[in-house]
Amino acid sequence: MAPRVVQHSDSLGLSYLIRAYQVRGHEAANLDPLGLHSFRSATPPPELDYKYHGFNDDDLDRVLNLQGTHKGGHKGFLSDLAHGRPVTLRKVVETLRQTYCQTMGVEYMHMSSRDKCNWIRARVETPLWLSYSKEKKLHIFERLAYADHFERFLGNKYNTAKRFGLDGGESVIPGLKMMIDRASELGVTDFVFGMPHRGRLNVLVNVLRKPMQLMFQEFQVGREGGREGGRVVCECLNDSTSFFLYFYFCLFKL
């Protein structure tokens, strides 16, 4: 009787490697390009090293032996590899680093809902998820520049006024505007924002299009003691999508 040949499978080790990047890949993302902060160790988590999961340098350019086609209900890389397409470990590692360890960190595996995790995975684990045309990139940059210059102007002009700036979080402005644009394309007609103190002036001007002249006038009145605080209703007409945005907030004491 001929001895049974045991065929080595890379499926388990590869699935652990992929999951490690999904869970901790954001910890190795390049979020501090100037190297000004030391909020985390310069050494990435050990789980992101393929050697941690039983592979070695000789396996990098070898076609992995992936047995089985069950994807366990997951979207993204695990779903793609379940189809049995030939792939090398080097290609998998490069793709994982490109997805989770670039200039944007993606952290979502703490969520208990599989549907929500799959929704994010199906979008971020795609080579084209951050591919934008030059015009789109310029449009995003323009919105970001408006938010940044607005905060700088307030800081210089009203440097003694009590305000809650958006400094360091200016990217929320193009994000909110993108959300509104996309939602309006899908038929949404009304938006209600639960807004904290920080950044509300920027949101009013650069998202809801409150006239700057009116904003600066209210700032001046507040500095002169003419307003102790009150309830303000801002109604802005979005010309590009022809719907009204209603924004309610309590004006803080300046």
Q: Report pLDDT digits (tens) over 77-98.
A: 777 666 667 889 999 999 899 8
Domain that residue 54 falls in: 11-124
Q: Are residues 192 and 143 in the same domain?
A: yes
Q: What angle do CA 202, 203, 207 make, to 5 degrees?
A: 120
Query: Are 93 and 50 spatial neighbours (Cβ–Cβ below 8 Å)?
Result: yes
> What is d(CA 207, CA 174) in angstroms, rounded to the nearest whole number?
8
Return the minimum-mean-pLDDT range out of 31-35, 87-91, 137-141: 31-35
Give 55's pLDDT tier (boundaries 50, 70, 90): very high
Domain boundary among 74, 105, 124: 124
pLDDT at 211: 86
Domain boundary among 92, 124, 156: 124
Query: Taking residues 99-103, what's their average pLDDT?
Result: 88
Q: What angle do CA 180, 152, 168 make, to 5 degrees?
A: 60
Which tokens hold the place of 233? 């209703």
- How many structural domains comprise the chain? 2
- Tell me if 5 is assigned to some domain: no
Which tokens hold the place of 101? 């360890």
- Tell me if 3 is assigned to some domain: no
Q: Is 160 helix (H, G, I), strand (E, B) or coil?
A: coil
Q: Residue 42: is its pLDDT beyond 80? A: no
Share of the chain above pLDDT 70, in %: 76
Whole-model pTM: value is 0.64
Q: Are residues 139 and 177 in the same domain?
A: yes
Q: Are residues 101 and 183 in the same domain?
A: no
Domain boundary among 102, 124, 146: 124
Mean of all residue pLDDT scores within the chain: 77
Query: Taking residues 130-135, what's their average pLDDT?
Result: 83
Q: Residue 254: is its pLDDT beyond 70? A: no
Please state, in angstroms and as integers, the Cα–Cα distance from residue 3 to each residue in 6, 7, 8, following that order. Answer: 9, 12, 15
Query: Are 12 and 91 spatial neighbours (Cβ–Cβ below 8 Å)?
Result: no
Query: Are 74 and 57 spatial neighbours (Cβ–Cβ below 8 Å)?
Result: no
Q: Are residues 144 and 49 in the same domain?
A: no
